Structure 1
Amino acid sequence: MTTRRVLGLILRFLRWAALAAAVLVLLGLAAAGALRWKFAGTPAPWARTTGHDALWMGHAWVDGRRTAEDVDALAVRLRGSGIRDVYVHSGPLDYDGTLRADKYPNAQNFLKWWRERLPEVRVSAWLGQKVGADDRPRLDLADPPARERIVAGARALIDLGFDGIHYDFEPVPDGDGPFLSMLRETRQAIGTKPLTTATQQIEPFPGLRHPSRLAIGHDKYWSSDYFRQVVELTDQVAVMTYDSGMPLRSLYGGFVVRQAEIAMGLVPEDKTLLIGAPAYHDHGVTWGDAAESVATAADGTRLALTEHGPRTDLGLALYVDFAATEEDWEEYRTAWVDPR
């Protein structure tokens, strides 16, 4: 191959690369404009908590670090709020799927204290782990014995007295069959007890899933079809809308609107849909801490609900109790429970 031909091929490649980059920039700008537009308007006064909110809670409640007095203090905060479900971290699972009983030595005491003070709030055991099948330490959901051990651990927690099971496995690839199998197997094991799961974000606009996967090395977004399959196998889903990567409050608010409106079209009215709200402040990037907040998640959810129309089983899920500040709780109250 001559030098002129090689140079010609290089120039052709560079032109195509520049064109592809320009298209991606234009698509990004169009998506940003659409998100900013969605975060405009005024929510309807009725668009607020329906009493189906949730709270993720840390491991200290079941490992002995928290006491009855701590439950008393949290009960004061939760009474009069919209929180109906809590997900109490009871793992993590080992990488082979085992849940050792020494992970939750204080669970029975916690459940006793909780039911004495907040009997109307359901308590699900939150189980999860990093998943995958590569060389890094990961839990492989495609391994049937590992799934058997996961389900056995879930069944043991139900027998101990938890009201339900809440899963949070990350990152689950779009279309992943083993995750669906685990949900089916868990349903068989726990019967009619509530089965809930955290979900990855839904692809906000067509064509974004594959570029994002290339950029970060795994699926950030699920397709609407896969999200619907997960919904069919559970009683309740909580979309993790935080860590969105949005650099501005207006863009994050629009992103929440988009996630909520897509999800409301995929989750039947007889199941509970929760929109994750970031009650933490260590996103890892400066703009994440500035852009994302409980108030913005609440505002975005209210705008989506206003456009959709009244829906009973819709709520916010606050992540997470041990990182939530007084400001986060105040935003939850004034932007969602009792908005002005």
Structure 2
Amino acid sequence: MFIQVVLALDYALYPLGETSAPKFDSAQNGVWLAFDFAQGKSKETPPHLAARMRDEGFKDLYFHVRYIGESGRLRYNIHQTARKFNAQLKVSDPKLRRFAWLYIGNERGITGVDIARPEIRARIVNECSNLISDGFDGIHLDYEICSDGDADFLTLLDDIGTRIQGHPLSVATPMWLPSPLGAYGWSEAYFTRVAARSDQIVVMAYDSALYFPRHYSWLIRQQCWRVPSAAKGTNCRVIIGVPSYEDGGPSHHLHSENLRVSLRAVREGLVDNPNANLVDGVALFADYSTKPSEWIVWRRDWR
């Protein structure tokens, strides 16, 4: 009974008070944004968006362009609207980096794309090249579900990197997890191989299925140490993705996985961290799911 009471109190009360860890914000944060912008259907104008992003400390903007179908081609043709939007946003603020956020789901994901097939990879590479021609500064690749050691994904990164050379290649990744959980997370060794082929790693540090805030905080701190350590010696920068959404299924427990807990854990994870200089900031998932109360937490606990 005593242990149950202790666990219940820890679940309910952690973390108490404010952290003594300093803020590490340098206004180089990232944020995932809705498909409406690239599709030309957003009610928010590019000048207003640029000002809002700048004021909130975001530099890298990941605009959803939907997903790659089984054929290896982009499911929706947004090239004309994307070109117009990118041109307008660039005029509004050329310092903001505009990434095309491209989802690719394998047989364990949603869309069943087989990147082991060379012809499929070639089509994906062509789509990435077309998106760069549409005015995006770089590609933000979200390949799910990518197991630790996936060699086909490394080949795809090589192919895309060669084609879009001179433009940043960003990768949304699973979290580092201990070796028995390689089907769901990555080892430091695999992070190193991905870092060698990309310009930016954005760790999706959520959907952990952890129900205790203390455990989730520990896992976030591990990302802050292990992923930059793995990227050391490469030209890859690291960003830690943090959650600001509610509906995420059984793997997302809102009491533990929330903006307050995650931002605190990132700050604590960067204290006395020899590789903290490789971490540019955090990425908010997502702009379209962040409530007014969460924006207050963002400004108070990170900015």
| Alignment TM-score, normalising by the size of structure 1 | 0.78
Partner of 1:143: 117
Return the alpha-carbon distance in structure 2 between the equivalents of residues 71 and 148 of structure 1: 32
Return the alpha-carbon distance in structure 2 between the equivalents of residues 133 and 303 of structure 1: 34
Give the drift of 1:116. Answer: 2.3
CA-to-aligned-CA distance 1:175-219 (integer Å, 9 cap, x gap): 11110000000011011110010011111x4x4316xxxxxxxx1
Is it true that 1:252 corresponds to 2:216 in the alignment? yes
CA-to-aligned-CA distance 1:32-53 (integer Å, 9 cap, x gap): x9xxx999994433x4212221
Partner of 2:89: 114
Partner of 1:65: 41
Is this contact kept in 1: 2:238–2:278, CA < 8 A?
A: no
Q: Which amino acid aligns with 1:56?
A: W
Is it true that 1:166 corresponds to 2:130 in the alignment? no
Q: How many residues align?
A: 290
Q: Which amino acid aligns with 2:212?
A: L
Partner of 2:287: 321
Partner of 1:308: 273
Return the alpha-carbon distance in structure 2 between the equivalents of residues 275 and 175 of structure 1: 21
Structure 2 portions without partners, runs of 5+: 1-9
Is this contact kept in 2: 1:52–1:314, CA < 8 A?
A: yes
2:246 partner SS: coil
Return the alpha-carbon distance in structure 1 between the equivalents of residues 76 and 111 of structure 2: 21
Larger CA Rg, structure 1 vs 2: 1
Give the drift of 1:82. Answer: 2.5
Partner of 1:242: 206
Is this contact kept in 2: 1:39–1:250, CA < 8 A?
A: no
Return the alpha-carbon distance in structure 1 between the equivalents of residues 244 and 28 of structure 2: 17
2:254 partner SS: helix
Is it true that 1:54 corresponds to 2:20 in the alignment? no
Q: Hey, which of these two has a bigger chunk of helix by percent? A: 1
CA-to-aligned-CA distance 1:112-150 (integer Å, 9 cap, x gap): 22112222110011111211389x850011011000000
Return the alpha-carbon distance in structure 1 between the equivalents of residues 270 and 143 of structure 2: 28
Return the alpha-carbon distance in structure 2 between the equivalents of residues 312 and 80 of structure 1: 23
Partner of 1:330: 296
Q: Which amino acid aligns with 2:196?
A: E
1:302 partner SS: helix
Return the alpha-carbon distance in structure 2 between the equivalents of residues 99 and 285 of structure 1: 29
Partner of 1:80: 55
Is this contact kept in 2: 1:39–1:303, CA < 8 A?
A: no
CA-to-aligned-CA distance 1:278-337 (integer Å, 9 cap, x gap): 121112239711211122211111111113055264210111121111122222211111
2:288 partner SS: coil
Return the alpha-carbon distance in structure 2 between the equivalents of residues 275 and 133 of structure 1: 24
Is it true that 1:194 corresponds to 2:168 in the alignment? yes
1:262 aligns with one of 201, 216, 226: 226
2:51 partner SS: helix
Return the alpha-carbon distance in structure 2 between the equivalents of residues 247 and 290 of structure 1: 7
2:253 aligns with one of 284, 288, 294: 288
| Alignment TM-score, normalising by the size of structure 2 | 0.87
Return the alpha-carbon distance in structure 1 between the equivalents of residues 122 and 173 of structure 2: 21
Partner of 1:299: 264
Return the alpha-carbon distance in structure 1 between the equivalents of residues 213 and 277 of structure 2: 25
